[in-house]
Amino acid sequence: MKKLLTTTAIAGLVICGSANAQTTISGELRLTLKGIAADGTTGQSVRGIGNEQQINVQTKGKLNNGLDYAAGFSIENDGEQTGTIFNENVYMDFTSGNTTLSIGKDHIQRSDSDSVLAQTFGLSPYDTQAKSNSLSANGTTTLFAQSPGAKPGQSYGIAVLQNIPNIGKVSLNYVPNNGQDATSESEGLNDTSAESAYEIGFVGNLGVNGLTVKAFHNQEKMNDGNVQKAKANAYSLQYATGAASFGIARKDFNAASTSATSIDQTVTEYAVAYAINKDVTIGVNYGVAKKDGTALNEKAKSLQLGYNLGPVAMVAGVSQNDNIGGSSAAADDSKSAFLRFIGAF
What's residue 213's pLDDT? 93
**pLDDT > 90 fraction of the chain, expressed in percent and rounded:** 31
* pLDDT category of residue 154 using cuts at 50, 70 and 90: confident
Structure confidence at residue 97 (pLDDT): 97
pLDDT at residue 132 is higher than 60: no
Nearest to 126 by CA among 309, 307, 322: 307
* Comparison of pLDDT for 113 and 82, the residue scoring more: 82
- Judge whether residue 238 has pLDDT over 60: yes
> What's the burial of 169, exposed, middle or buried (CB within 10 Å: 0-12/13-18/19+)?
middle
Q: How confident is the model at residue 219 (pLDDT cuts 50, 70, 90)?
A: very high
Q: What is the pTM of this model?
A: 0.84
Mean pLDDT taken over the chain: 80
End-to-end CA distance of the chain: 48
Domains of the chain: 22-344 (2.40.160.10)
* Res 255: pLDDT: 81
| Beta bridge mates, 284 | 272, 303
**Phi, psi (rounded to 5 degrees) for 6:** -65, -45
CB atoms within 10 A of CB 154: 17
Kindly tell me if the per-residue pLDDT of 193 is higher than 80: no
pLDDT per residue as tens digits for the range 299-317:
888 888 888 888 898 888 8
Q: Residue 270: what pLDDT?
A: 87
Binned at pLDDT 50, 70 and 90, residue 151 comes out as confident
Question: Which range has highest mean pLDDT (77-81, 147-151, 184-188)?
Answer: 147-151
Burial of 182 (0-12, 13-18, 19+ CB in 10 A): middle
3-state secondary structure of 276: coil
User: What's the pLDDT band for 65 if we cut at 50, 70, 90?
Assistant: very high
Percent of the chain scored above 70 by pLDDT?
A: 80
Name, in order, each residue with C-beta under 8 angstroms of 330's C-beta and a sequence gap of 6 or more. 39, 40, 41, 43
Q: Which of 55-69, 173-187, 314-328 has the highest average model confidence (pLDDT)?
A: 55-69
pLDDT, residue 43, reads 62
**Mean pLDDT confidence for 238-265:** 85
